[in-house]
Amino acid sequence: MVRIGGGQGFYGDGYAGVGPLLESGVDYLVCEALAELTLAILAKDRARDETAGWTRDLPLYAAMVAPDVVAGRTRFITNAGGINPVAAGRALLEGLRAQGIHGVSVATVVGDDLKPHADELGIPDDAVFAAAYLGAAPIVEALDRGAQMVVTGRVADASLFLAPLIHEFGWDTDDWDRMALGVTVGHLLECSAQVTGGNYSGDWWNNGDFTQPGFPIAECDADGGVVITKPEGTGGRVSFDTVREQLMYEVHDPRAYLNPDVTADFTSVRLEDLGNDRVRVSEVQGRPRPATYKGLVCTPAGYSGEVRLPYSWPDAEAKARAAARFLHRRAQQLGIPVLEWHEEYFGVNAFGGDTVVPRGAAVPPAGGDEPPEVMGRLVWRCEERDDAARLTREFGLLGLGGPPMVSPFGRARERPTGLLDLQPMAVPRELVDAGVRVSVEVS
């Protein structure tokens, strides 16, 4: 049996659940750190510092798992390398050496960067980054070569978890049902505590102590037996409902979940609640992998400014809308070229659509219920940073000259934020695979 622990669901995830995973004994600690937004954040980091571009919490996770790795109790896999896996691998090695830890084999996977193929793929010259979503193969190679820690760039989330199963059990990568089962395991574990009761839409209040989160474990055997569970004594729960909710998370077509390694049919999955925080997963069916990799291209999209406009009863929404109209008019009067506006009102329509009054109403209708307070939020996009900043400076006029009873919690973002546009694309596999490399170095 191989036990895989899901130790991270995103860059910035809480790490309190990692300790119990290691204490309970997992053969692999897998930390999934990336999302489309994360790559954009890391791109901004690298623009400021060419040695950046990987997640800054990687050293924290590495330090936590290092004693178990040295003792031979576990291996560590992560895609925290982001858009600079070489620098991440170097930082990982330097961190181990700084702790006096020597003899640990660290593998770095590169090759997801698509910018070297810009001409063939039509990637714009101003692209901040362009990345392909790799599959499990290079991680399997790293593990086969004895790597105890593996850091990658943009590898698809579920493939991080599939790789150790292929390595341990020698699964044929054309055995589509086995590949689909491994991807299902990865999909269930990739969001850390979400499969163990986090974001649960049922009776979430019975999930126990949030300060003692139970991160997930998959117990897998060579014949395809899988049980999802969590460390004993931790918060949350593993049940039929928590597992099926995560199974459908971020799934466009449950009959064809596209992954670099397989096309999985989630409608074939059978879940059996065994009780005591244990759910068996079985009967997963798969079909051949997609003909192409998913690619993601990121380009500059201008700059945004933002103000928040909180007002209290009476007429809270009408006041906030009037304040927003003031800023629209000032932009016109000053000739500020705004490309796009976004406007919302918390307490009225920011979550789930209109909840109090019809959208666009200048004042609440007679007899309508009024919220006690409303937070207006106005965001605008300009091509140039200075244009976005000019309108922000107009916010101050509302303090003494705008609608009454503005809250001191109102604020304007001090500096415009650079925006990035993300566009998916299909990428020929042979173009990417030719450039994938695995390097292994000992600390």
Q: Could you tell me the CATH number of the domain that includes residue 337?
A: 3.30.70
Q: Are residues 287 and 247 in the same domain?
A: yes
Q: Are residues 206 and 290 in the same domain?
A: yes
Q: What is the pLDDT of residue 366?
A: 42
- Alpha helices for 335-417 (secondary structure H): 385-392, 398-401
Q: Are residues 321 and 276 in the same domain?
A: no
291 and 314 both lie in a single domain = no
Residues 229 and 135 in one domain: yes
pLDDT of residue 353: 58
Q: Are residues 256 and 346 in the same domain?
A: no
What is the model's pLDDT at position 10?
97
Contact 108, 155 (CB under 8 A): no
Q: What's the CA gap between 350 and 366, in Å, rounded? A: 22
Q: Is the peptide bond before 116 cis (omega within 30 degrees of 0)?
A: no
Domain containing 32 equals: 2-296+424-442
Does residue 161 sit in the same domain as residue 184? yes
Domain count, the chain: 2
| Residue 32: HSE in the Cβ half-sphere, 13 Å Cα cutoff | 25
Q: How far apart are CA 99 and CA 62, in angstroms?
A: 11
Q: Are residues 313 and 340 in the same domain?
A: yes
Tens of pLDDT along 1-41? Answer: 999 999 999 999 999 999 999 999 999 999 999 999 899 89
Please provide the average confidence, as pLDDT, over all residues in the chain. 93
Q: Is the Cβ–Cβ distance between 394 and 323 less than 8 Å? A: no
Q: pLDDT of 63-101, one tens digit each? A: 999 999 999 999 999 999 999 999 999 999 999 999 999
Same domain, yes or no: 158 and 69:
yes
Q: Which of 55, 63, 68 is nearest to 5 (CA)?
A: 68
Same domain, 234 and 140: yes
Claim to verify: residue 282 and residue 161 sit in the same structural domain: yes
pLDDT of the residue at 371: 83
Euclidean distance between CA atoms 135 and 162, whole angstroms: 9
Give the chain's residues under pLDDT 70.
350-369, 406-409
* pLDDT score, position 355: 54
Q: What is the pLDDT of residue 409?
A: 65
pTM score, whole prediction: 0.92
DSSP character at residue 194: G
- Which residue from 179, 128, 182, 174 is spatially nearest to 2, judged by alpha carbons? 182
Closest CA to 292 of 251, 258, 252, 265: 258
| Pair (179, 317) in one structural domain | no
CB-based contacts of 440: which residues, under 8 Å, 6+ apart?
105, 106, 107, 108, 142, 145, 146, 147
